[in-house]
A and B are shown apart, each in its own frame.
Chain A
Amino acid sequence: DQQVKQNSPSLSVQEGRISILNCDYTNSMFDYFLWYKKYPAEGPTFLISISSIKDKNEDGRFTVFLNKSAKHLSLHIVPSQPGDSAVYFCAASGRGSGNTGKLIFGQGTTLQVKP
Chain B
Amino acid sequence: DADVTQTPRNRITKTGKRIMLECSQTKGHDRMYWYRQDPGLGLRLIYYSFDVKDINKGEISDGYSVSRQAQAKFSLSLESAIPNQTALYFCATSDLRPNTGELFFGEGSRLTVL
Contacts and interface: CB of A to CB of B under 8 A. Distances in A.
Interface string B81-94: 00000000010101
A9 to B, nearest CB: 7
B100 A32 contact: yes
Interface string A73-111: 000000000000000010101100000111111111000
A43 B42 contact: no
Given A101-B31, A102-B58, A44 B101 contact: no
Nearest to B35: A105
A44 B92 CA distance: 10
B87 to A, nearest CB: 14
Interface residues of A, number: 26
A45 interface: yes
Contacts of B41: 107
Contact of B43 (A9, A32, A89): A89
Given A43-B4, A43-B90, A44-B90, A101 B43 contact: no
B102 A49 contact: yes
B114 interface: no
Contact of A102 (B4, B48, B108): B48
A105 B42 CA distance: 6
B22 interface: no
A73 to B, nearest CB: 14
B113 to A, nearest CB: 20
A34 B101 contact: yes
B103 A106 contact: no
Contact of B100 (A6, A42, A49, A104): A49
16 contacts: A42-B107, A43-B90, A43-B105, A44-B43, A49-B102, A89-B42, A93-B101, A101-B31, A101-B99, A101-B101, A102-B33, A102-B48, A103-B45, A105-B35, A105-B44, A107-B42
Interface of A: 4, 6, 9, 32, 34, 36, 41-46, 49, 89, 91, 93-94, 100-108
